[in-house]
Amino acid sequence: MYEVEQKYHLADRAPVEDWLLRHGATFHVACNHMDRYFAHPCRDFAVTDEALRLRRAGDEIAITWKGPRLSTASKTRREIELALACPGGRPSVEPTLDQWTELLESLGFRRVRDVAKHRQPAVIRWEEMTIEVVIDHVDGLGEFLELEVLADEEGVAAAQSRIASLAMAMGCGAPERRSYLEMVLDDA
C-alpha cells in the first residue's frame, strides 16, 4: 500500500473543525501518539528518504517503515506498518515501547528522536473517496492538518487529486512537505 498524504500548518484549528463538521466529516475519539524514530545502522535514512518508527497509541504499539517519497506533488510513499502490541493482551506479557526500543538498539539501530502529538482524527467523504483527516497538536511545533488516503499503486493518482481538491476547498495554504521528525530536527 501507498500512503498519500498532505500536511498543512494551522494558525487556528477552530475554522477547520467547523468546516469539516459542516461538510459531513465524522470525528473519532482523540488520542495521544508517541512516535519514536530510529536511524539504520548501515544506511542514512535522511539520504534515502526513509523512516523507521515505533508508535505507541494508547495500549497499541506498532512498527512502521516508510519508503522514499515517490511524488513531489504530495507525500506519497510505500508504507508497511505492523502491530506489535494490541489491546486485550496481557500487559505483563506484551512488550513495552522501551522493550521494543531495546531490541532495535541491540540490533544496531540508533534512537533519533521522539515526537509526541495529540491527534483528533476524522473521516470525510470527498468526491467519492473516503479521506482520513487528522488535526494534530505536535509538541514544540504547533497545530497541523493532515489529509491521507491509503491506496494501491493504481489508486495513487486519484488519491492525490482528491486530497488536493479537498485542501483547496478547505482553503489550505501551501503544503508542508517535511515530516514532523524533519521539522523537529530542523528546529533543534
Whole-number average pLDDT of the chain: 92
List the domains of the chain with CATH numbers. 2-187 (2.40.320.10)
Q: What is the pLDDT of residue 50?
A: 93
Residue carrying the nine cell digits 494508547: 58
**Percent of the chain clearing pLDDT 90 (strictly above):** 82
- pLDDT confidence of residue 87: 58
Phi and psi at residue 97, to the nearest 5°: -60, -40
For the stretch 34-74, pLDDT in tens is 999 999 999 999 999 999 999 999 888 999 999 998 877 67
DSSP characters over 19-68: HHHHTT-EE---EEEEEEEEE-SSS-HHHHT-EEEEEEETTEEEEEEEEE
pLDDT of residue 91: 56
Write out the three cell numbers for 187. Answer: 528546529
Kindly report whether the global pTM for this prediction surpasses the value 0.85: yes
For the purposes of burial, counting CB atoms within 10 Å of the CB of 34, is it exposed (0-12), middle (13-18) or buried (19 or more)?
middle
For 99, half-sphere exposure in the C-beta direction (CA atoms, 13 angstrom radius) is 9
Distance CA(137)–CA(139), nearest Å, equals 6
Residue range 106-155, pLDDT digits in tens:
999 999 999 999 999 999 999 999 999 999 999 999 999 999 999 999 99
pLDDT of residue 98: 93
